[in-house]
Structure 1
Amino acid sequence: MPPKVPTFTEQLAAARSSAVHLEMRDSYSVAKETGPFAAWQDGFRHDPDDRASWWRPWLTLIEETVARGVEVRRVRIVSEPVSEYIRFEHSGTFTNIAAGEQIRWLPRRQTSDIALPGNDFWLFDGKLVRFNHFTGDGESAGPSFSDDPAVALLCATAFETAWGRAVPHEKYTV
């Protein structure tokens, strides 16, 4: 029997110092976002003062992770002008920040000299990489994992370079 592959929640729970996420697509079509994206397109916006209306399990998970002393950071590499989907993500990013996640935005034009992995990824404690694969239409095609030190180094270097160039969320306008 093959070993059980840990869920994302299990991987994040096992993180001791850091969890970094690099996103490189201009749109995603993951099922759980279809409704919220459509609502946003119809004019819905979260009310920052009504936390109960937008707080969800993801944000609780991030809040608990940060409370354990794990630094959670994300860089979104985006084409400019940004896509409608990126405007949607930007609009709701304040919720992630409220949970303790640090988020920056990096215009794609500034990444040409960065050796980037071919897929979005999470890197846990600088050692375990969870690649997120997507179809051409942006639907999830499932994850893959690597604990190869060379792969982890590539991802860590790419992330830290992107992080150093990226604009903090509160200063990035779409």
Structure 2
Amino acid sequence: MPKYIDDATFGDYFRDFQYTAWRLETRRGYASDLASERYARFRNGESLGIESSTWTDNIRAQTGQGKRIERVRLVDSPPTQGQRFLLASAANNIAAGEDIRNLWRAEAEKVGLPAEDFWLFDSRRALLLHFDEADEYLGSELIEDPVRIARYCRVRDAAWHHAIRREQFVEQVRSHA
């Protein structure tokens, strides 16, 4: 059974890293998104626009210090509704300074990427995010074991090499429709 961090400290990891915070997102959707006001607007066909939030304010603050916040999202063909929402809402995080790229799930499987959601901080510690079958967040497990961290670094490098920027990916999604 994994030992989860105290969720009250989750945000500290995104303020305390020195150089890079990198994420792999592998789920087809997230229950927390379904409950959000932005998701309701997306479902109604409304523009999501660029909005300020605690998350985007922190992205601006961290990237303003020269730090990088990056992620790769795996996407099915065709994308699920949750993945379409993430594609649409990514513009908000990108405007704040986060670099979000996408990779078709089939390509990710070809290069052997795991079906794990995690954040990697400064190539020295990670938070492995756990979810249940209904895509509800269960908690984050702190990983500091050097062998596991080296594996996450290899996953990051492979994912980043094959992923493409959001704008390009959106065009690919449109051409597959």
The normalised TM-score by structure 2 is: 0.87
Does the 8 Å contact 2:38/2:48 carry over to 1? no
Instruction: Give 2:84's aligned residue.
Output: 87
Instruction: Give 1:99's aligned residue.
Output: 96
Give 1:8 shift.
Answer: 2.3
Give 1:115 shift.
Answer: 4.0
Instruction: Give 1:108's aligned residue.
Output: 105
Secondary structure of the corresponding residue to residue 93 of structure 2: helix
Alpha-carbon spacing, 1:85–1:146, altered in 2? closer, same or farther (3 Å): same
What one-letter code is carried by the residue in structure 2 that aligns with 1:90?
Answer: L
Describe the superposition over 1:1-55 as per-residue Cα deviations: whole angstroms up to 9, x where unpaired. xxx85722211211111110100011110268433212211122123xxx4xx21
1:27 aligns with 2:24: no
Describe the superposition over 1:66-104 as per-residue Cα deviations: whole angstroms up to 9, x where unpaired. 112211110001111100111111111111111110011
The whole-number CA distance in structure 1 between the counterparts of 2:33 and 2:165 is 28
Q: Which moved more, 1:106-115 or 1:77-86?
A: 106-115
Q: Name the structure with the higher helix share.
A: 2
1:42 aligns with 2:44: yes
The whole-number CA distance in structure 1 between the counterparts of 2:91 and 2:15 is 23
Secondary structure of the corresponding residue to residue 45 of structure 1: coil
The whole-number CA distance in structure 2 between the counterparts of 1:151 and 1:129 is 9
Describe the superposition over 1:146-171 as per-residue Cα deviations: whole angstroms up to 9, x where unpaired. 10011111111111101100111111
Gaps of 5+ in 2: none
What one-letter code is carried by the residue in structure 2 that aligns with 1:142?
Answer: G
Instruction: Give 2:158's aligned residue.
Output: 161
Q: Could you tell me which of 126, 132, 149 is aligned with 1:152?
A: 149
Does the 8 Å contact 1:72/1:100 carry over to 2? yes
Secondary structure of the corresponding residue to residue 27 of structure 1: coil
The whole-number CA distance in structure 2 between the counterparts of 1:13 and 1:117 is 27
Q: Could you tell me which of 108, 124, 135 is aligned with 1:138?
A: 135
Instruction: Give 1:15's aligned residue.
Output: 17
Does the 8 Å contact 2:123/2:149 carry over to 1? yes
Q: Which moved more, 1:156-165 or 1:105-114?
A: 105-114
The whole-number CA distance in structure 1 between the counterparts of 2:35 and 2:16 is 26
Aligned residues: 166
The whole-number CA distance in structure 2 between the counterparts of 1:150 and 1:95 is 35
